[in-house]
């Protein structure tokens, strides 16, 4: 395992000894260093979303190249979500024990190798195999990146910092479908996989030479192990599934399910896009199909930092109302905007639009609804992600990984059923069911905000102290 290193460019401003106050912990890095670190981890967080988003517009071409159907190839999307779940859990658990930096040092080379191998795949089994390891290597970029942000920013700044991080990462959903469509139309889907491999290699070089360890001094599992063994032990097995144990928390479980219900509504729009919007409006050009994804991605980019800033303001406002007492669930109030209106209404109306409106009006309205959906989904996911860090601050990466791990597994199951549902039930019914699911998530969020304290008291866990 790689030992911790610090470089002159991004080194902390004070020594990495134990510090006694919260301000000292979060002031270890200057503003310049924090910005540079956020840029580095955002690049690594962008890659897993590029891996998933660039694949979807290529599904028809991949199906043709392997002489199979879109339904079969779309299973690779589900497989990637399972791998993302596993990779996120492994990365989070080991980053809590060994630190953030080693997870990037291990994951990025795996992503690089699997991407190049995927580009040379010659059969569906090879495609599925390398697709799994590609997503596995990319997965720590999000959960570990969120842990890095939590290491550097205090409560009142964390939502905004998370919003910037997720906003930068969400350039992936905005640009990757277009990149995938352009690659499929002007070259091939294989070329894009090679570009992803090269991007992972570039990220690895920058991480190797510029990223310091950001974990709070003395808090890593390996630090405690060395103290207990007088410095003789440096390595130990870490159970990668222990992050899922955090889901014993009714709070984390509830917001994770609510996040899944809203995120699945987005994939009901995106996964079958070539077979719904593409067929309905007679769009067969892969580049144009990729461009149709742009409004949803732009909505993601706008929604993440906006939700982060609003959630910080909500925390400060309600903390002031209570005379300085912080309640973690206050951050979730911002998510109600997306869960009650933007997500369910956009997916419901898009189903009706695709089914019944023709011509330029139908296309224009569909694009507007895609933007609203992307905006709404991130208005839901960003506060939930930051809330997962807030309540488990000492295990921030694991909180994010537990959230994303279960969510990814549920989404992979849901994605496998999207195409069969549209083929058997029709677009309108499928989109209506997705909207009802999103409204159910809204109800779960309302319940958590109202009874958050009672839910936390129900199971005794290592929550962040309410002070």
Tokens (6 digits) for 444: 């779960």
Half-sphere exposure of 162 (CA within 13 A, CB side): 35
Q: How confident is the model at residue 231 (pLDDT cuts 50, 70, 90)?
A: low
Is the model's pLDDT at 397 over the cut of 80? Answer: no
CB-based contacts of 147, cutoff 8 Å, min separation 6: 92, 95, 96, 100, 389, 396, 397, 400
Is the model's pLDDT at 113 over the cut of 90? Answer: yes
Q: Are 296 and 374 in contact (CB under 8 A)?
A: yes
Superfamily of domain 22-458 in the CATH hierarchy: MFS general substrate transporter like domains (1.20.1250.20)
Q: Which of 54-68, 191-205, 286-300 has the highest mean pLDDT?
A: 191-205
User: Residue 333's pLDDT is what?
Assistant: 93
User: Residue 4's pLDDT is what?
Assistant: 41
Is the model's pLDDT at 5 over the cut of 60? Answer: no
Angle between helix 155-169 and 171-186 (nearest 10): 10
Whole-prediction pTM: 0.69
Instruction: Determine the average pLDDT of the residues in 360-386.
Output: 89
Instruction: Give the residue with greater pLDDT, 449 vs 53.
Output: 449
Instruction: Give the residue with greater pLDDT, 297 vs 356.
Output: 356
Is the model's pLDDT at 237 over the cut of 90? Answer: no
Q: Are 414 and 195 in contact (CB under 8 A)?
A: no
User: Residue 332's pLDDT is what?
Assistant: 93
SS3 for 312? helix
In whole angstroms, what is the distance from residue 424 CA to residue 136 CA? 32
In whole angstroms, what is the distance from residue 37 CA to residue 404 CA? 22
Is the model's pLDDT at 321 over the cut of 70? Answer: yes
Instruction: Give the residue with greater pLDDT, 245 vs 306.
Output: 306
Instruction: Determine the average pLDDT of the residues in 272-280.
Output: 74
Is the model's pLDDT at 381 over the cut of 70? Answer: yes
User: Residue 174's pLDDT is what?
Assistant: 67
In whole angstroms, what is the distance from residue 91 CA to residue 402 CA? 11
User: Residue 304's pLDDT is what?
Assistant: 79
User: Residue 14's pLDDT is what?
Assistant: 43
Q: What percentage of the chain reaches a pLDDT higher than 70?
A: 92
User: Residue 173's pLDDT is what?
Assistant: 65
Q: How confident is the model at residue 451 (pLDDT cuts 50, 70, 90)?
A: very high
Q: What is the pLDDT of residues 409-441, one digit of tens each?
A: 788 788 778 888 888 898 899 999 999 999 999
Q: What is the mean pLDDT of the chain?
A: 82
CA dihedral (448, 451, 453, 457) positive or negative? negative
Burial of 446 (0-12, 13-18, 19+ CB in 10 A): middle
Is the model's pLDDT at 22 over the cut of 70? Answer: no
Considering only 58-67, 170-179, 212-221, which range has the smallest mean pLDDT? 170-179
Is the model's pLDDT at 125 over the cut of 80? Answer: yes
Q: Are 274 and 60 in contact (CB under 8 A)?
A: yes
User: Residue 369's pLDDT is what?
Assistant: 92
Q: How confident is the model at residue 20 (pLDDT cuts 50, 70, 90)?
A: very low
H or E element at residue 35: helix 31-53
Q: What is the pLDDT of residues 130-168, one digit of tens each?
A: 999 998 999 888 878 888 888 888 767 777 777 778 777
Q: How confident is the model at residue 1 (pLDDT cuts 50, 70, 90)?
A: very low
Q: Which of 76-80, 232-236, 362-366, 401-405 has the highest mean pLDDT?
A: 362-366
User: Residue 23's pLDDT is what?
Assistant: 60
Counts of helices then strands in the chain (DSSP H, E): 20, 0
Considering only 4-8, 189-193, 388-392, which range has the smallest mean pLDDT? 4-8
User: Residue 436's pLDDT is what?
Assistant: 96
Is the model's pLDDT at 214 over the cut of 80? Answer: yes
Q: How confident is the model at residue 61 (pLDDT cuts 50, 70, 90)?
A: confident
Is the model's pLDDT at 352 over the cut of 50? Answer: yes
User: Residue 16's pLDDT is what?
Assistant: 39
């Amino acid at each position: 395992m790689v030992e911790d290193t610090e470089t002159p460019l991004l080194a902390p401003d004070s020594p990495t000894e134990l510090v006694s106050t919260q301000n000292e912990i979060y002031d270890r890095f200057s503003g310049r260093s924090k910005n540079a670190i956020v840029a580095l981890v955002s690049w690594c967080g962008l890659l897993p979303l590029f891996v998933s988003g660039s694949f979807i517009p290529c599904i028809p071409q991949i199906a043709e190249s392997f002489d199979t159907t879109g339904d079969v190839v779309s299973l690779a999307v589900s497989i990637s979500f399972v791998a993302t779940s596993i990779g996120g859990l492994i990365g989070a658990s080991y980053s809590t024990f060994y630190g953030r930096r080693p997870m990037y040092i291990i994951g990025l080379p795996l992503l690089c190798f699997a991407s190049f191998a995927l580009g040379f795949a010659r059969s569906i089994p090879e495609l599925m195999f390398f697709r799994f390891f590609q997503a596995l290597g990319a997965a720590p970029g999000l959960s570990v990146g969120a842990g890095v942000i939590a290491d550097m920013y205090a409560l009142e700044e964390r939502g905004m910092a998370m919003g910037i991080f997720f906003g930068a990462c969400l350039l992936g959903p905005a640009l990757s479908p277009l990149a995938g469509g352009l690659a499929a139309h002007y070259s091939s889907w294989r070329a894009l996989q090679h570009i992803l491999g090269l991007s992972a290699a570039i990220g690895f070089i920058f991480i190797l030479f510029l990223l310091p360890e950001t974990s709070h001094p003395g808090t890593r599992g390996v630090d405690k192990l060395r103290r207990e063994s007088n410095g003789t032990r440096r390595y130990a097995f870490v159970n990668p599934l222990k992050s899922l144990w955090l889901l014993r928390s009714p709070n984390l479980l509830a917001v994770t399910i609510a996040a899944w219900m809203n995120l699945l509504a987005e994939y009901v729009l995106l996964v079958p896009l070539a077979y719904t919007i593409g067929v309905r409006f007679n769009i067969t050009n892969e580049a144009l199909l990729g461009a149709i994804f742009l409004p949803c991605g732009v909505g993601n980019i706008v929604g993440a930092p906006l939700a982060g800033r609003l959630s910080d303001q909500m925390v400060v406002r309600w903390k002031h109302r209570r005379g300085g007492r912080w309640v973690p669930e206050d951050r979730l109030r911002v998510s109600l905007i997306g869960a009650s209106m933007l997500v369910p209404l956009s997916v419901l109306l898009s189903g009706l639009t695709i089914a019944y409106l023709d011509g330029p009006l139908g296309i224009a309205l569909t694009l507007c609804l895609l933007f609203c959906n992307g905006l709404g989904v991130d208005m839901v996911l960003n506060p939930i992600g930051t809330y997962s860090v807030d309540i488990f601050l000492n295990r921030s990466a694991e909180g994010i990984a537990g959230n994303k791990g279960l969510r990814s597994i549920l989404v992979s199951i849901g994605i496998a059923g999207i195409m069969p549902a549209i083929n058997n039930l029709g677009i309108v019914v499928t989109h209506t069911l997705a909207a009802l699911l999103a409204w159910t998530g809204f109800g779960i969020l309302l319940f958590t905000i109202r009874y958050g304290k009672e839910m936390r008291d129900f199971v005794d866990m290592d929550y962040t102290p309410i002070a």
